[in-house]
């Protein structure tokens, strides 16, 4: 690099070292210096994972130019596809203004505008819910886990400051997943992820998933000590796409009201159209006291999260300076202007492209394709789905066989990126996926399952059609 006047660098003189590294060199460097999330490196280092270089729409490309359908929305966060021109332009415009400014003692236009928009679109009380409070306040952070941590702390501190210090506990669901920080793990229920850290966690009671009777029993026994119940509405993603029965969420809301307990809805995965509504709570007319958002909030562009609260929760923190009722919580990148600009642009795309209307057709097609290509496979035990959130559960097999993982590798060879949760294959494409891309994704998934689970690999739609993986 060549220095120029005033200590600035000439961008035309900057050598892009990554651009001149081969795929093999990048892969070698990855194995020398990176530690990947949720990854057992002893086996992973023997596999040649794609190194993704760019994306366009629903397609991502590796450094060798091979194209893949992004079948999991880059871990459940991409909404409108990669490199959407409207979101790209919004981020570029914000870079030309300022990329970051703290919200401790200051504010900025993107954070204010986004908060207004989130309050406007959040689940709201219907006319037959006159006593239900709307969500009116937005607290920013930077991940789903931190959004949950904030909600837990708000619930706890709110009761403590209102003279109900005994309300210091929480109820969560069995097999729940709310993130990987200590507080969110404390209200998690997946032993594989959480049991090792038990000595570090606070205790929470676990209700059986989707069982209103179990929730009622726990609240009857412990409700006077409970600050909040936390749930993933309609479907528990990381548990393997476990779907709750109709009416369950509404019943939990009623039980919380009956026992004077706050309700936290974690819509980190379900929010922003994944279930066919902007928020999953809307399906059952539920308005929580605290709402956790992340993942799709920026359209899958930048890290951002938000915890929405009712005015009652917010006002419980008001007082004189010397009362020390302040919510003592914050993050360096809270409300980052670039991320907020991306989130505003994403919400504009929802309106401009009528995304929620259009996705209804996509959901109907997904149901048809799953019935046609996946359901007939003998190795498929169950298809779990809400909206575009889909889990294909394979028949039981020994853990050492890692069927789910083998299916993802087979799908990758055919040109699609999918992810396993154990032996549940997850499909969660961007809402913008085209009809033909959706059919191709489901076909590839079916072919991959057939290859891995059948002694003599069967061919289904994609292979019969001789459909190759796209190349850049």
Instruction: Check pLDDT > 70 for residue 455.
Output: no
Q: In this predicted structure, what is the pLDDT of residue 205?
A: 98
Instruction: Check pLDDT > 70 for residue 466.
Output: no
The residues pairing with 306 across neighbouring beta strands, listed in sequence order, are 140, 293
Of the chain, the percentage scoring pLDDT greater than 70 comes to 92
pLDDT in tens, 142-177: 999 999 999 999 999 999 999 999 999 999 999 999
- Do 330 and 104 form a contact (C-beta atoms < 8 A)? yes
> How much is the average pLDDT of 15-35?
85
Cα distance between residue 426 and residue 424, in whole Å: 6
Task: Round the average pLDDT of the chain to a whole number and report it.
Answer: 92
| Structural domains in the chain plus CATH codes | 9-80+355-464 (3.90.1150.10), 92-352 (3.40.640.10)
Q: In this predicted structure, which of 74-83, 384-393, 446-455 has the lowest mean pLDDT?
A: 446-455
Q: Which two tokens stand for residue 160?
A: 């403590």
Q: Position of tokens 């990176």?
A: 34
> How much is the average pLDDT of 7-36?
76
- CA nearest to 174, candidates 202, 207, 218: 207
DSSP single-letter state for residue 175? T
Q: Which two tokens stand for residue 167?
A: 């309300």
Q: In this predicted structure, what is the pLDDT of residue 456?
A: 56
* Choice between 215 and 192, residue whose per-residue pLDDT is larger: 215
pLDDT in tens, 340-350: 999 999 999 99
């Amino acid at each position: 690099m060549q220095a120029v006047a005033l200590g600035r660098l000439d961008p035309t003189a900057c050598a892009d070292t990554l651009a001149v590294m081969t795929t093999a060199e990048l892969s070698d460097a990855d194995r020398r210096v990176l530690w990947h999330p949720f990854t057992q490196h002893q086996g992973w280092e023997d596999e040649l994972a794609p190194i993704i270089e760019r994306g366009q729409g629903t397609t991502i490309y590796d450094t060798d130019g091979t194209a893949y359908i992004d079948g999991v929305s880059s871990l459940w966060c991409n909404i409108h596809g990669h490199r959407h021109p409207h979101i790209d332009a919004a981020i570029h415009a914000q870079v030309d203004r300022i990329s970051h400014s703290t919200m401790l003692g200051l504010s900025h236009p993107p954070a204010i505008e986004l908060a207004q928009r989130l309050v406007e679109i959040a689940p709201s009380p219907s006319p037959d819910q006159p006593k239900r409070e709307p969500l009116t306040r937005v607290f920013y952070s930077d991940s789903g886990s931190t959004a949950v941590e904030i909600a837990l702390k708000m619930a706890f501190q709110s009761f403590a400051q209102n003279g109900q210090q005994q309300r210091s506990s929480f109820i969560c669901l069995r097999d729940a997943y709310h993130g990987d920080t200590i507080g969110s793990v404390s209200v998690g229920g997946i032993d594989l992820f959480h049991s090792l850290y038990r000595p570090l966690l606070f205790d929470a009671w676990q209700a059986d998933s989707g069982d209103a009777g179990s929730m009622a029993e726990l609240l009857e026994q412990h409700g006077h000590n409970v600050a909040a119940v936390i749930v993933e509405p309609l479907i528990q993603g990381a548990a393997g796409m476990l779907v709750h029965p109709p009416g369950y969420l509404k019943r939990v809301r009623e039980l919380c009201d009956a026992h004077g307990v706050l309700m936290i809805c974690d819509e980190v995965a379900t929010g922003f159209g994944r279930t066919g509504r902007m928020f999953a709570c809307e399906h059952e007319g539920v308005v929580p006291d605290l709402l956790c958002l992340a993942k799709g909030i920026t359209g899958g562009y930048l890290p951002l999260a938000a915890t929405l609260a009712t005015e009652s929760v917010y006002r419980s923190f008001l007082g004189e300076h010397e009362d020390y009722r302040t919510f003592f919580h914050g993050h360096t990148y809270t409300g980052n202007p670039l991320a907020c600009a991306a989130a505003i642009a994403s919400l504009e795309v929802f309106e401009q492209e009528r995304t929620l209307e259009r996705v209804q057709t996509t959901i109907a097609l997904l149901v048809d394709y799953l019935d046609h290509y996946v359901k007939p496979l003998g190795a498929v035990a169950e298809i779990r789905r809400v909206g575009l959130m889909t889990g294909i559960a394979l028949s039981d097999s020994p853990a050492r066989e890692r069927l789910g993982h083998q299916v993802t590798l087979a799908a990758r060879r055919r040109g699609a990126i999918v992810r396993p949760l154990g032996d549940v294959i997850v499909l969660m494409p961007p809402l913008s996926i085209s009809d033909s891309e959706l059919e191709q994704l489901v076909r590839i998934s079916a072919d991959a399952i057939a290859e891995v689970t059948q002694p003599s690999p069967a061919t289904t739609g994609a292979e019969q059609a001789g459909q190759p993986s796209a190349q850049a």
